[in-house]
Amino acid sequence: MKALLDSAKHLQDKQTKLRRDFHHFAEAGWTEVRTASIIAKHLIEMGYEVKMGREVIAADDRMGLPSQEELDKHYQRAMAQGAIPEYAEKLRDGFTGVVAILRNGAGPIIGMRFDIDAVEMNEPQGNERRPGREGFASVNPSAMHSCGHDGHATIGLGVAELLMEYRDHFSGTIKLVFQQAEEGVRGAKSIVGSGILDDVQYMLGSHIGNGAPVGTFTPGQDGMLATSKLDAIFTGKAAHAGGNPDGGKNALLAAATAVMNLYAIPRHKFGATRINVGRLQAGTGRNVIPDRALMSLETRGETSALNQHMYDYAMRILKTSAEMHDCGLETKSMGAAQGGISNRALMARVAEIAKNLGCFHTIATETGKVGGSEDYTYMMERVEQNGGQAIFMGLGAKLGGGGSASASAVEGGAHTIDFDFDESCMPLGSAIFTAIALELAKK
């Protein structure tokens, strides 16, 4: 374990450089052509069997895909910013996932997931933040690594390197999943849909978090809310509001009827549920009966069943509201995640492994709680359905938390413009994933 930790710590400079490169050229979900192609290149150079694009993504299970025009535009940008042409070709048009496989003798099959996409927001370039000051703030509009997935991708490549170095110490198969489009919970389902994880017995995932300093480790987290994201488009008929009001079909009215009733869905006795209508756009002008309304909404539930209840109820309201005002309705699924509970037996083993690794000063004894949603839950669910065990770990990464000398004072929560993290969390992340694999697939 000591040797492994030393090997991991030697990765620090390389990992910092790599993370800052991913950060500088941040790419949002389904457009991560540059990021994924560089990941693929590293993995192939290390000697992995690498599958990518359509080999690991079920086209029909993709959700919330940008338009073809957007995909083309971002592909061109990726090429101009140094994407590896050979792999970019396989990743383009919304197929930006990469899976590396190491078949290393008989033994358990272990899956690990690292998400790679940025959040759709602009990153400020100013000197008051470290990324601006040290020249690695995102140059791409509407793409900022404000959730730390640049760190996740880098941790994953570190794991790949360590597993190769320590391959004589274990016997089994490892599948490293570099997942596209986690933001908006749009990508994981398509990876699961490809069947690439169907034989996996242990599934590991994690998120870095800047609520706790480097050296803090949570073996398992729960509380990921199952969710469905959808767009509803109401279509009516325009007419003169004064001269022919009864000749129109009011899409705005249908949508407004739906909004009021969506919020009136009763709570559920089995647990927490949520509903939100985050956007409503309708109509063209004051004196015209509105012929179109676009609504973006989401449902959530503490479990997949609770979310399903909310989703079914919401769909019924959308349909009947459209019908009430004689309008048409089209709904599009824009993203989804399941509920997820970390496996207690695996958590206990992993806590022990973390302790033996010797780099974590605080190992949580309680299960962590994730407030939002995570589409990694699709992977957890698939592995559990097949009799396997899955956990979602947490890695402390708070800047100024005593982990790194270069710590900056400026740091905000995930999905804020002040987000940043302590880069010394990355070797520890790579070390713990590797240590778990070595233990689970011990010779």
Instruction: By CB under 5 A, name the binding residues for Zn ion.
Output: 147
- Nearer Cβ to Zn ion (353/390): 390
Q: What separation in angstroms does the CA of 190 have from each of 4, 65, 181, 205?
A: 34, 12, 10, 17
- Nearer Cβ to Zn ion (161/182): 182
- Nearer Cβ to Zn ion (291/423): 423
Q: How far is the CB of 183 from Zn ion (least distance, A)?
A: 7
Q: How far is the CB of 200 from Zn ion (least distance, A)?
A: 21
Q: How far is the CB of 277 from Zn ion (least distance, A)?
A: 24
- Nearer Cβ to Zn ion (147/441): 147
Q: What angle do CA 106, 110, 113 make, to 5 degrees?
A: 155
Q: How far is the CB of 311 from Zn ion (least distance, A)?
A: 23
Q: How far is the CB of 370 from Zn ion (least distance, A)?
A: 10
Q: Based on the number of CB atoms within 10 Å of its own CB, is 66 exposed (0-12), middle (13-18) or buried (19 or more)? A: middle
Q: How far is the CB of 348 from Zn ion (least distance, A)?
A: 26
- Nearer Cβ to Zn ion (172/340): 340
Q: How far is the CB of 147 from Zn ion (least distance, A)?
A: 3
Q: How far is the CB of 297 from Zn ion (least distance, A)?
A: 22
Two structure tokens written together for 196: 């690439």
Instruction: Note whether 235 and 328 are within 8 A (CB).
Output: yes
- Nearer Cβ to Zn ion (394/401): 394
Distance (Å, rounded) from C-alpha 337 to C-alpha 306?
12
Instruction: Note whether 299 and 307 are within 8 A (CB).
Output: yes
- Nearer Cβ to Zn ion (220/236): 220
- Nearer Cβ to Zn ion (15/206): 206
Instruction: Note whether 1 and 358 are within 8 A (CB).
Output: yes
- Nearer Cβ to Zn ion (84/147): 147
- Nearer Cβ to Zn ion (245/412): 412
Distance (Å, rounded) from C-alpha 62 to C-alpha 186?
7
Q: What separation in angstroms does the CA of 3 have from each of 54, 162, 336, 403, 435?
A: 38, 11, 41, 20, 11
Distance (Å, rounded) from C-alpha 4 to C-alpha 8?
6
Distance (Å, rounded) from C-alpha 365 to C-alpha 296?
39
Q: How far is the CB of 336 from Zn ion (least distance, A)?
A: 16
- Nearer Cβ to Zn ion (95/419): 419
Residue closest to Zn ion when measured from CB atoms: 147
| Phi/psi of residue 156, nearest 5 degrees | -60, -40
Instruction: Note whether 49 and 101 are within 8 A (CB).
Output: yes
Distance (Å, rounded) from C-alpha 166 to C-alpha 156?
15
What angle separates helix 425-440 from helix 344-357, to the nearest 10 degrees?
120
Contacts of 374 (CB under 8 A, 6+ apart): 182, 185, 205, 207, 224, 337, 340, 392
Q: How far is the CB of 327 from Zn ion (least distance, A)?
A: 37
Distance (Å, rounded) from C-alpha 51 to C-alpha 376?
19
Q: Based on the number of CB atoms within 10 Å of its own CB, is 432 exposed (0-12), middle (13-18) or buried (19 or more)? A: buried
- Nearest to 412, CA basis, from 403, 421, 404: 421
Q: How far is the CB of 436 from Zn ion (least distance, A)?
A: 20
